[in-house]
Amino acid sequence: MATALALSSSPRHRWRLPGTATGWFTGWFLLAWIGVVVLPLLIISAFSFFSMRQYQIVYDPTLDTWIGLAETGRWVVVLRTIRFAVSVTFLEILVAFPFALWLAKGCRSNAVRAGIITLLTIPFFIDASSRIIVWRSILGTNGVINNLLVGSGLIDKPLTWLLYSDFAVSFGMFGSYFPTAVFPIFLTLSLIDDDLIKASSDLGGSRLQTLRFVILPLAMPGIVGGIVFTFVPLMAAWIEPQLLGGGQVNLLGQSIQSALSNLNYPVAAALSTVVIGVLVLLLAVLIVSLRGRFSMSSLFQSLDR
């Protein structure tokens, strides 16, 4: 990052607006942004150390909520959510890495690449509930899949575990978080200089060795990024378990939501703090893996290409 910054502050660039105006604006923005992003996250974490008495928050630090989580067995929900998040994230990365590698290095047609990136971008802008609710008519006992299976005589009676089950929830999650797994990996892979890959094969490296010793280490920040963008939102997934779990699959997101609607702020806060903790931990890993690898400008050059 240092070189890029040195460039922009070199004396040749004397064109900046009255430096103070830019500075002022950035300052005000940061203040407001901290107010609506960082402060709420800190406050909700702090709330997990308060207690409720007669629907009033008692601002008196206590560990009651956390002890209560352990005693009432809510920690099982945390474990179950982690299980879901880990397995779905693992599958996502497993499918996303080869696909991203092909997209960044294997795909020779710019039009095909642009088309696939378009397809990966669009889901960010689609209403989630209508997208997920359709799965009911696909996976349900009289849904498409069961109709096909029964109709073809493969099974006698409809499979009931297709919908309102762990399977259905994982299935819905996989589709929802595939693009977020592909994008960071794709970005770092397309940053890798083709000459490096060519040099590796010129020096006699097999494709497997090139993958193992050249591509994989350079793509690590992207893989960690993909994990962050998949694992963290999965920890707080709510739409998929709610619509496809049918009350059978209780995850962290629903617990937070129901605790909040019961005005049980400390429990909702403690469960949210678990998610925030995971987020901070993974972000730290990401920052360490990014350190000194990429500058802001090189990242955007790759977007530019």
Partner 1 sequence: MSSAAATAAMPRLHGARIQRRFLDRLAEASGWNVVAVALGCAALLLIYGPLIWLGVMSFSAEPLSGKPYPLTFAHYGLLFANDKWHTPFLKSVLLGLAVALACMVVGTFLARALVRLRRPGGVLFLALLPLFVPGLTIGAALFVFLRTTLGLKLGMWSLFIGHMVWAFPFALLLILIVTIRFDVKLIQAAEDLGAKPLRCFLDIELPLLMPGISGAGIFSFLLSFNELLRSTFLRGNETTMPVYNWAMASAQQSQVPIVFSLSTLILAVTLPVMGALFFMLFARKGS
Length of the chain: 305
Cβ at position 129, least distance to partner 1 in Å:
4
Cβ at position 121, least distance to partner 1 in Å:
5
Cβ at position 232, least distance to partner 1 in Å:
6
Which residues ranging from 61 to 100 are in contact with partner 1 (CB under 8 A)? 95-96, 98-99
Which residues ranging from 144 to 203 are in contact with partner 1 (CB under 8 A)? 144-147, 171, 174-175, 178-179, 182
Cβ at position 55, least distance to partner 1 in Å:
11
Which residues ranging from 199 to 258 are in contact with partner 1 (CB under 8 A)? 206-209, 211, 228-229, 232-233, 235-239, 242-243, 253, 256-257
Work out whether 102 is an interface residue with partner 1 (CB under 8 A).
yes
Provide CB contacts within 8 A for 158, sequence distance 6+.
141, 142, 146, 149, 150
With beta carbons less than 8 A apart as the criterion, state whether 243 and 129 touch. Answer: yes
Work out whether 106 is an interface residue with partner 1 (CB under 8 A).
yes
Closest to 88 in 3D by CA, of 227, 206, 238: 227
Q: What is the CA angle 61-65-71, rounded to 5?
A: 140
Work out whether 114 is an interface residue with partner 1 (CB under 8 A).
yes
Helix (H) or strand (E) holding 52: strand 51-53
Closest to 226 in 3D by CA, of 280, 186, 172, 171: 186
With beta carbons less than 8 A apart as the criterion, state whether 273 and 75 touch. Answer: no
Could you give the C-alpha distances from 84 to 29, 76, 181, 253, 283, in angstroms and in order?
Answer: 37, 12, 16, 12, 20
Q: Which of 77, 103, 104, 215 binds partner 1 (CB under 8 A)?
A: 103
Q: Which is nearer to partner 1, 70 or 208 (CB)?
A: 208
Count of residues interacting with partner 1 (CB under 8 A):
112
Q: Which is nearer to partner 1, 64 or 256 (CB)?
A: 256
Work out whether 47 is an interface residue with partner 1 (CB under 8 A).
yes
Q: Which of 20, 130, 152, 156 binds partner 1 (CB under 8 A)?
A: 130
Which of helix, strand or coil describes residue 251?
coil
